Amino acid sequence: KAGVTQTPRYLIKTRGQQVTLSCSPISGHRSVSWYQQTPGQGLQFLFEYFSETQRNKGNFPGRFSGRQFSNSRSEMNVSTLELGDSALYLCASSLRGRRGDSPLHFGNGTRLTVT
Protein backbone atom coordinates (compact mmCIF):
# COMPACT_ATOMS: atom_id res chain seq x y z
CA LYS A 1 0.00 0.00 0.00
CA ALA A 2 1.45 3.36 -0.99
CA GLY A 3 2.22 5.79 1.82
CA VAL A 4 1.30 9.42 2.21
CA THR A 5 2.65 11.48 -0.67
CA GLN A 6 3.45 15.16 -0.33
CA THR A 7 4.49 17.50 -3.10
CA PRO A 8 6.66 19.38 -3.59
CA ARG A 9 9.46 18.26 -1.28
CA TYR A 10 11.14 21.66 -1.24
CA LEU A 11 9.95 25.19 -1.88
CA ILE A 12 11.65 28.55 -1.74
CA LYS A 13 9.39 31.59 -1.72
CA THR A 14 9.76 35.26 -0.94
CA ARG A 15 7.85 37.25 1.63
CA GLY A 16 4.38 38.26 0.52
CA GLN A 17 3.94 35.39 -1.91
CA GLN A 18 1.52 32.55 -1.44
CA VAL A 19 2.10 28.82 -1.62
CA THR A 20 0.01 25.67 -2.08
CA LEU A 21 1.11 22.31 -0.77
CA SER A 22 -0.42 19.01 -1.79
CA CYS A 23 -1.01 15.74 0.05
CA SER A 24 -2.32 12.38 -1.12
CA PRO A 25 -3.31 10.14 1.81
CA ILE A 26 -3.07 6.40 2.11
CA SER A 27 -5.82 4.72 0.15
CA GLY A 28 -8.88 4.30 2.34
CA HIS A 29 -7.89 6.99 4.83
CA ARG A 30 -10.48 9.73 4.94
CA SER A 31 -8.81 11.98 7.47
CA VAL A 32 -5.96 14.29 6.57
CA SER A 33 -4.19 16.46 9.12
CA TRP A 34 -1.55 19.10 8.61
CA TYR A 35 1.23 19.95 11.03
CA GLN A 36 3.93 22.59 11.03
CA GLN A 37 7.30 21.54 12.42
CA THR A 38 9.96 24.02 13.49
CA PRO A 39 12.99 23.58 15.76
CA GLY A 40 11.61 26.04 18.28
CA GLN A 41 7.94 25.11 18.43
CA GLY A 42 8.06 21.44 17.50
CA LEU A 43 5.05 19.84 15.85
CA GLN A 44 2.03 22.10 15.84
CA PHE A 45 -1.42 21.13 14.61
CA LEU A 46 -2.76 23.24 11.76
CA PHE A 47 -6.04 21.60 10.78
CA GLU A 48 -7.77 18.34 10.04
CA TYR A 49 -10.12 17.40 7.23
CA PHE A 50 -12.49 14.49 7.12
CA SER A 51 -14.77 13.77 4.18
CA GLU A 52 -14.08 17.19 2.67
CA THR A 53 -14.99 19.02 5.90
CA GLN A 54 -12.62 20.84 8.20
CA ARG A 55 -13.20 19.20 11.56
CA ASN A 56 -10.68 21.14 13.58
CA LYS A 57 -8.29 24.02 13.31
CA GLY A 58 -5.24 24.80 15.36
CA ASN A 59 -4.11 28.16 16.60
CA PHE A 60 -2.80 29.61 13.35
CA PRO A 61 -3.76 32.85 11.57
CA GLY A 62 -6.28 32.91 8.76
CA ARG A 63 -3.44 33.07 6.22
CA PHE A 64 -3.27 29.31 6.65
CA SER A 65 -6.10 27.47 4.96
CA GLY A 66 -6.78 24.10 3.48
CA ARG A 67 -9.27 21.94 1.71
CA GLN A 68 -9.96 18.32 0.97
CA PHE A 69 -11.27 16.87 -2.23
CA SER A 70 -13.72 14.04 -2.77
CA ASN A 71 -10.84 11.60 -3.33
CA SER A 72 -9.45 12.59 0.11
CA ARG A 73 -6.47 14.42 -1.38
CA SER A 74 -5.80 17.63 0.47
CA GLU A 75 -4.13 20.94 -0.14
CA MET A 76 -3.02 23.63 2.22
CA ASN A 77 -2.43 27.22 1.27
CA VAL A 78 -0.43 29.91 2.98
CA SER A 79 -0.97 33.44 1.76
CA THR A 80 1.15 36.53 2.33
CA LEU A 81 4.14 34.51 3.42
CA GLU A 82 6.24 35.69 6.33
CA LEU A 83 9.79 34.72 7.26
CA GLY A 84 8.42 32.85 10.29
CA ASP A 85 6.47 30.53 8.03
CA SER A 86 9.69 28.75 7.10
CA ALA A 87 9.18 25.22 8.36
CA LEU A 88 8.62 21.60 7.50
CA TYR A 89 4.95 21.08 6.70
CA LEU A 90 3.80 17.58 7.37
CA CYS A 91 0.66 15.94 6.18
CA ALA A 92 -0.69 12.88 7.98
CA SER A 93 -3.54 10.57 7.12
CA SER A 94 -5.48 8.27 9.38
CA LEU A 95 -8.66 6.27 9.63
CA ARG A 96 -9.60 8.73 12.36
CA GLY A 97 -12.26 7.37 14.61
CA ARG A 98 -14.57 9.63 16.58
CA ARG A 99 -12.33 9.60 19.65
CA GLY A 100 -9.28 10.70 17.69
CA ASP A 101 -7.42 7.55 18.51
CA SER A 102 -6.23 6.46 15.10
CA PRO A 103 -2.47 6.56 14.56
CA LEU A 104 -1.17 9.12 12.12
CA HIS A 105 0.77 8.17 9.02
CA PHE A 106 2.99 11.05 7.99
CA GLY A 107 4.30 11.98 4.58
CA ASN A 108 7.88 13.09 3.97
CA GLY A 109 6.86 16.70 4.30
CA THR A 110 7.39 19.87 2.31
CA ARG A 111 10.33 22.00 3.39
CA LEU A 112 9.29 25.64 2.89
CA THR A 113 11.87 28.37 3.03
CA VAL A 114 10.70 31.98 2.96
CA THR A 115 13.32 34.60 2.08
- Does residue 109 touch other proteins according to CB under 8 A? yes
The phi, psi pair for 22, rounded to 5°, reads -120, 150
Q: Which is nearer to other proteins, 81 or 92 (CB)?
A: 92
Sign of CA dihedral 64, 53, 41, 87: negative
Q: Which of residues 40-99 bind other proteins (CB under 8 A)?
A: 42-48, 50, 55-56, 58, 90, 92, 96, 98-99
Residue closest to 46 by CA, chosen among 80, 87, 5, 1: 87
Q: Give min distance, CB of 14 to other proteins, in A.
A: 25
Distance CA 87, CA 53 (A): 25
Q: Which residues bind other proteins (CB under 8 A)?
A: 33, 35, 42-48, 50, 55-56, 58, 90, 92, 96, 98-101, 103-109
